[in-house]
Structure 1
Amino acid sequence: AFEGKTSFGMSVFNLSNAIMGSGILGLSYAMANTGIILFLVLLTSIAVLSLYSVHLLLRSAGVVGIRAYEQLGKRAFGHPGKILAAVFWVSSNLISKLPLFCIFFEWFLNGNYLIIIVSVFIILPLALMRRLGYLGYTSGFSLTCMVFFLISVIYKKFNIPCPFDGFTNHTAENISIDGECEAKYFTINQQTAYTVPILAFAFVCHPEVLPIYTELRNPTKRRMQAIANVSILGMFVMYLLTAIFGYLTFYLNTEAELLHTYSKVDPLDRLILCVRLAVLVAVTLTVPVVLFPIRRALLQLLFPDKPFHWLRHISIALCLLFIANLLVIFVPNIRDIFGIIGATSAPSLIFILPGLFYIRIVSTEPMKSRPKIQAACFTALGFIFMSMSLTFITLDWVYGENRSGGGH
């Protein structure tokens, strides 16, 4: 039998790294549109829901001893379920990380060359690892980079005075807009609705849960749930601090992409340039963790009963990176496409599929039992989120303004 070797700490690093998406750059903007209290309520409820979702997945997997997302799909809904799970799975995973790449590499003049160089020399070797456990070290480093980002955001709050000179016309007198430098505790405006989907997908890590579970040393459900709790709690604290300090630096002037707002104040700020580099490194190092389960899903679909073979392993990694690079370089309005797929696949992964899997797979409980009813409500919530996101994206397109902020 397969023996897991990865320690608790490394697993936490890997799972946290999988959660850590582009969402963090849009959080201050979300807070500017909800107010501090409402933001706190939303973020907390999403974190709790994500944990419940991991619980449902582990329960479903525990009943049948399955350790892969697409196999759960097969168990619940036969072959179509397997394909459905894999499709949502692959799309959501690629989508949550790829647009990031586009955004970050726009910072450099010849971004396209850089993307290719980074893919070949950094991502590819890491993506070729046979086990997720080995990526624990790079995940740890990636998280360290994000902690540096957080510390810089906190430092900048005390370093940049409000109101800013950067945002006003230098010719006009510097008139402070009323309330420009006041923190709002509770705000509802046009953009508020857009922030709900951004937050709803802040803790997507569900596809990685089962592969990490498989490789865990003495794997038990409680131990894996503890890993999820620690990872999500850690990211929750980090998200909250980033959002609060970013928001308290710029107040009403916060933009959808936080680092861009700093550059407006001083384009040549050395610290912010270093932070950009750190975030870039962090994002680059999350890609191998995300590619890992995608490759596994593809191997499951295309070669279900074949033993491990390096040729297949390497060629799938190469194809995935090749496709990713092509998309990033040749599809100019890639974020729109991703927005749509993200709006359908993320709620499916977090809310809809785990709920359905639980209802179908855990046969020991009657349909009217409390856990089953909770799972059904959870699935319904997923459909509500999905329709919300799609509605906003459609409205965005109809009115042609891109109001929706950054995020997954």
Structure 2
Amino acid sequence: MSEEESQKSGKQTDPLLPDKNNKKCEQSSTIWGASFTLSNTLLGAATLSVPYAFRAGGMIMSIIIMICSGALSFYSMHLLVKSTEICKRASYKGVSEAAFHKKGSIAVVATICLFIFGVVTTYFCFIADLVTPIFRQALHDTSYADSFLTDRRFLMPVTVLITVFPLSFFKQITKLNFPSFLVILALMFVMIQTVVHSVDHMAKHGIESSKIKYFSFHSEILLAIPILSLAFLCQFNVFTVLNELKNNTPRRKHIVILNAILSGIFFYTLIGIFGYLNFYDNTKGDILNNYPDDDVSAIIGRIGMIVALIFSSPVVFYAGKESLHSLIFKDKKMEGKTAIGVAFFLFACSVILAIFVPDVVGIFTVTGSIGGNLIVYILPSLFYLKLRSDHLKKQKPTNFSVQNGSDTNPLKEILPEDPFSDEKSNDETDENRNENENEIQSENENENENENENENKNDNEDKDENKNQDLDDFGLHSKKNIQTDIKLENPIYSWILLIYGIVSGIICCIESVKDLIHPVTK
């Protein structure tokens, strides 16, 4: 394959795809390691908002919405996996390029890049909001109580520079499997703290059943949908995680995706139910804000959440720097000074914005509502519908093929033969001459065929080996996956996912804009 062809196909030059010639970029992640990393992407600051969603939507109604959102998110990632089988690409950029060509791919990658930039900046703001009260509480009786050591603008950059920044330079996301495991432990810590505090409160005051809201069918439910519909967002990292999975057959890939979705449902259900039963209608948008600053359980919960956000940020950051690099440098590999420069630029922009624009979270809530629904629901369904349509078109036979090797020149059927011409006699002599020439050519061809058979066999083996190497990164050419006919999904489910994403996006955007214009105390 020439360099031009490889650039057009986007295989070896796709920066969102692992470098196949780099031995370090081998598939080394286990199912559990990949599950932890994908769960790390899925779980995050949204965990603290789930109790508020339960308050707004009602306990049972919120659980139903959450399970439906989890199922739809699983199906959207399933569509991404099916899309890779059709187009033989294993990245968001590759799949989008196959579906919508280069211009469409640039728009998709730019959307992902802006969305991740917003998520990372929001994470830094949350870290600052969690770290500052702890330091103020620790230093409130000292001479440093009102010094720069308790200033949010000092604590946030120092904290993320010491913790997040060093973890942002790994070349493989597999290296973040252990930090991802720590995130799960930290969130379990927060969940246990919430459950224990709630059980203790119910033991002292009992369950006030009159205050429990099970269903909500009025406008308040619109506050729950944005939180719960985007609580399972991890699609922008699904390719990166599954690319590095050992023996990444479709079954193993779906196990990883299912583990991440189930872990989200488990955490969100427990924190949502017990957080809501603790504070009822007083439940705030961040459950930790319901606790006093000097409350021991609140301090424990904040520390656990700080650990979770610190180790979640590099996983989200990984996809951001890959997307930004692909926008700026296109087909150039991300390595050396280029990789460091891209990571530092994205990191610095996020830190500066979080320091000087602390209310940026509200702005990114609007963009996140649009970008989040695009990434989770709309783009995967559009990718699959477009690629499915293109695949079916390729399967249809052409109606204008030449039959039996005959010349199909329409002029011979329209123009009459000239009876006075010497064409027939000339044709007979030409036919005899051509027969002799054809006999000689056929003998030479038979000899050449035997010689070329071995060469072609070797060439085909080399081509197959290179093709297998390209496709094995996403498990597209393992023995179990070789299929002459790809099993296509019913498009009706993709349309349902697309419609849900559009409706959810409109609701999320309206509620976010309303909250930005008329902020409500949550």
TM (norm. structure 1) is 0.89
Aligned CA-pair RMSD: 2.3
* TM-superposed deviation, 1:259: 0.5
* TM-superposed deviation, 1:160: 2.5
Q: Is the 8 A contact 1:18 1:205 kept in 2?
A: yes
Q: Is the 8 A contact 2:39 2:261 kept in 1?
A: yes
Q: What CA distance in whole angstroms lies between the structure 2 residues aligned with 1:32 and 1:152?
A: 19
The residue that corresponds to 2:305 in the other structure is: 279
Residue 252 (structure 1) aligned with residue 294 (structure 2): no
Q: Equivalent residue of 2:49, what SS?
A: helix
Q: 1:340-377, CA deviations, whole angstroms, 9 ceiling, x for partnerless residues?
A: 1011100100111001110112333479x862232123
Q: 1:271-316, CA deviations, whole angstroms, 9 ceiling, x for partnerless residues?
A: 3202101101110111110111121122222223323421111111
Q: 1:209 aligns with which of 238, 250, 256?
A: 238
Q: 1:138 aligns with which of 179, 182, 197?
A: 179
Q: Is the 8 A contact 2:230 2:372 kept in 1?
A: yes
The residue that corresponds to 2:81 in the other structure is: 58
The residue that corresponds to 2:499 in the other structure is: 380
* TM-superposed deviation, 1:388: 1.2
* TM-superposed deviation, 1:236: 0.7
The residue that corresponds to 1:170 in the other structure is: none
Q: 1:78 aligns with which of 87, 101, 112?
A: 101
Q: What CA distance in whole angstroms lies between the structure 1 residues aligned with 2:157 and 2:301?
A: 22
Q: What CA distance in whole angstroms lies between the structure 2 residues aligned with 1:143 and 1:33?
A: 26
Q: Is the 8 A contact 2:211 2:280 kept in 1?
A: yes
Structure exhibiting the larger radius of gyration computed from Cα positions: 2
The residue that corresponds to 1:3 in the other structure is: 26
Q: 1:123 aligns with which of 161, 164, 179?
A: 164
Q: What code does the residue aligned with 2:74 have?
A: L
* TM-superposed deviation, 1:99: 2.0
Q: 1:301 aligns with which of 304, 310, 327?
A: 327
The residue that corresponds to 1:224 in the other structure is: 253
Aligned residues: 387
Q: Is the 8 A contact 2:31 2:255 kept in 1?
A: no
Structure 1 ranges of 4+ moved more than 4 A: 161-164
* TM-superposed deviation, 1:140: 0.3
Residue 321 (structure 1) aligned with residue 347 (structure 2): yes
Q: Equivalent residue of 1:274, what SS?
A: helix
The residue that corresponds to 2:45 in the other structure is: 22
**Structure with larger RCO (C-alpha < 8 A, sep 6+):** 1
* TM-superposed deviation, 1:62: 2.1
* TM-superposed deviation, 1:401: 3.2
The residue that corresponds to 1:337 in the other structure is: 363
Q: 2:336 aligns with which of 278, 285, 310?
A: 310
Q: 1:31 aligns with which of 48, 54, 60?
A: 54
Q: What CA distance in whole angstroms lies between the structure 1 residues aligned with 2:309 and 2:505?
A: 26
Structure 2: gaps spanning 5 or more residues? 1-19, 133-149, 395-487
* TM-superposed deviation, 1:106: 2.6
Structure 1: gaps spanning 5 or more residues? 165-175
Q: What CA distance in whole angstroms lies between the structure 1 residues aligned with 2:231 and 2:341?
A: 31
Q: Is the 8 A contact 2:129 2:152 kept in 1?
A: yes
Q: Is the 8 A contact 2:125 2:358 kept in 1?
A: no
Q: 2:35 aligns with which of 3, 6, 12?
A: 12
Q: Is the 8 A contact 2:35 2:259 kept in 1?
A: yes
Q: 1:80-111, CA deviations, whole angstroms, 9 ceiling, x for partnerless residues?
A: 21111112212222323432431341341322
| Seq. identity, % | 25
Q: Is the 8 A contact 1:365 1:372 kept in 2?
A: no
Q: What CA distance in whole angstroms lies between the structure 2 residues aligned with 1:96 and 1:31?
A: 23
* TM-superposed deviation, 1:209: 0.3
Q: Is the 8 A contact 1:347 1:385 kept in 2?
A: yes
Q: What CA distance in whole angstroms lies between the structure 2 residues aligned with 1:327 and 1:357?
A: 33
Q: Equivalent residue of 1:276, what SS?
A: helix
Q: 1:105 aligns with which of 107, 121, 128?
A: 128
* TM-superposed deviation, 1:163: 9.2
